[in-house]
Every structure is written in structure tokens, then in C-alpha cells.
Amino acid sequence: MAEHDWGERLRAAGYKLTPARQAVLDSIPAADEHLNPAEILAHGRTLYPALGRATVYRTLELLTTLGIVRPIYIGEAGPTYIRAQGGHHHLVCSRCGIMVDFDRCIADEMVNDLHERFGFTISSHLLEFYGLCPKCQQK
């Protein structure tokens, strides 16, 4: 999703793209980095110093509802957030909780098939494999 589409999505849903919301959006990277709300708050304050913790949580909830960001729940540390566009893929160790992002995904090849079979227009997906990392396998 292009940056200008965020404002359109918010406005279409009856919301404004305020400076605080823009700071939260700009703090969530498009790459494979996952940030928790505290990290989003810290980065967001560099962009908009008046940004508050409650605003970050409310904005993340709104952006999740609108399908602009996606929470990722791995382990017990609480959610981290990524942009909800394209595919996102993880290897997750069931013992230590380490998470490894990877970019090659056969699910991309399934998008057309799923569209043809079920009529869905797919804009993103999340794929996770759980197992043991090399260190945990040695223990």
C-alpha cells in the first residue's frame, strides 16, 4: 500500500490522518522489522514529540481494524506490528522463541489459484513455521 493510500483509507472510514497517526504509521517499517508499541512510541516521538502512549495504542487498534497494519503474536512478550501488505514469513523456535524472517514463499504462487477457486482477492498473507532452532536442537 502506498503511503498516500493510508490517508484515503482513514478518510473513507471516517477518520483523519492526524500528525500523531502519521507518526505511528511512519514508525512502522515496510521491511521485515517488527516493533512493539513501546518502540513505536519512542520512534514516533522523534517525528511528533507530543505523541502519547494511549494514542499509540488507539492508533494501532484502528490501523489493525482498517487492515493497514498487522499485529504479530509470537511468544509471551505481546504483539509486534508490521505493515499489512504483501506476504510476511517466519520460522519460529518453539523452545526459545527466536524468530527468523524469510522472503521466499511458495504461498505467493497460491494467490492466483485461491482467487480462481474461491473468488478472494488476496492483498497479504502471514506464514509461520514452528520448530526448533539449531541451538535448541543441540540442547
Domains of the chain, residue spans = 3-83, 86-138
Q: What is the pLDDT of residue 1?
A: 45
Grid cell 514516533 — which residue?
A: 44
Write the pLDDT tens digit of every residue in 27-85. 887 655 778 899 999 999 999 999 999 999 999 999 988 888 888 776 666 788 877 76
Residue environment code for 33-66, b if the CB has 16+ CB neighbours within 10 A, otherwise e: ebbbbebbbebbeeebeebeeebbeebbebbeee
Choosing among 1.10.443.10, 3.90.420.10, 1.10.10.10, 1.10.3720.10, the CATH entry for 3-83 is: 1.10.10.10
Q: What is the pLDDT of residue 61?
A: 94
Residue 136, pLDDT above cutoff 50:
yes
Q: What is the pLDDT of residue 75?
A: 65
Q: Sorting pLDDT into bands at 50, 70 and 90, what band is 92? A: confident
